Amino acid sequence: MGIIIDWVFPKKCLGCDVNGNYLCSKCQKEIKSLGVSYDDKRLEGRIGLFKYDGITREIIRMIKFDFVGDAIKEIGNWMVAALKKDYPNVVATWRKEKYVMIPVPLHWRRENWRGFNQSAELAKVIGDKLKIEVNKDLMIRKKYTKSQALRQRGQKSSNVEGAFKIIGKIPKKIIIFDDVWTSGATIKSMIKILPEKTKVWVLTLCSGR
């Protein structure tokens, strides 16, 4: 399968078109890394690894349609390297205190159509490498919302209000994981329904700020 896919779609860097990887090492270095944000009182902290613009926007678009899964694997490994390098203390805390990673669920209609949830797949790669438990069966998305591209600006927050439902036992310490943080409305509406004492970190591949 891999050989055929490579032949039909040769792997090229999204940034500079050089063959070999989805993101070459030169372009990796040019992507701006962001620090930990403490912008929401409900959170222990939030890590948006990379700035959401240009190449990272293309990466997000690509992993949504990565039916082979090798782009997700490559990007997941890149995230793991960045976490180990830039946030060793946070990662150590997550491991020591047994944080459980919960990927933001997709509505079943969208997941069926796409065939997978890109955030859950990425979380799996990261959890495996960092030895952090991942559980995607604790919450569901009960409300079907239009994709971001079809939505009007400013419409997002009302759209995701009440979108999630808890269906499992929420661990005391969790990391909510998603591909991108823009307004944060989606993740905030997830946090709203969590037990008050739950300690929450947020980790995303990209962040608008």
**Token pair in block for residue 155:** 């419409």
In whole angstroms, how close is the CB of 21 to Zn ion at the nearest point? 8
What 3-state DSSP class applies to 201? strand
The DSSP annotation for 63-129 comes to HHT-SSSHHHHHHHHHHHHHHHHH-HHHHHHHHHTT-EEEEPPPPHHHHHHHSS-HHHHHHHHHHHH
Residue 173 and residue 98 in contact, taking contact as beta carbons nearer than 8 Å:
yes
119 vs 116: CA distance, rounded Å: 9
Nearer to Zn ion, 14 or 202 (CB): 14
In whole angstroms, how close is the CB of 55 to Zn ion at the nearest point? 8
| C-alpha triplet 157, 158, 159: angle, nearest 5° | 90
In whole angstroms, how close is the CB of 179 to Zn ion at the nearest point? 20
In whole angstroms, how close is the CB of 126 to Zn ion at the nearest point? 22
Q: Which residues pair with 101 in a beta bridge?
A: 134, 175
Nearer to Zn ion, 15 or 184 (CB): 15
Nearer to Zn ion, 60 or 138 (CB): 60
CA dist 171 to 90, 132, 136, 159, 168, Å?
18, 13, 12, 27, 9
In whole angstroms, how close is the CB of 54 to Zn ion at the nearest point? 12
Nearer to Zn ion, 36 or 60 (CB): 60
Nearer to Zn ion, 23 or 106 (CB): 23
In whole angstroms, how close is the CB of 61 to Zn ion at the nearest point? 16
Which residues of this chain interact with Zn ion, rule CB under 5 A?
13, 15-16, 24, 27
Nearer to Zn ion, 75 or 175 (CB): 75
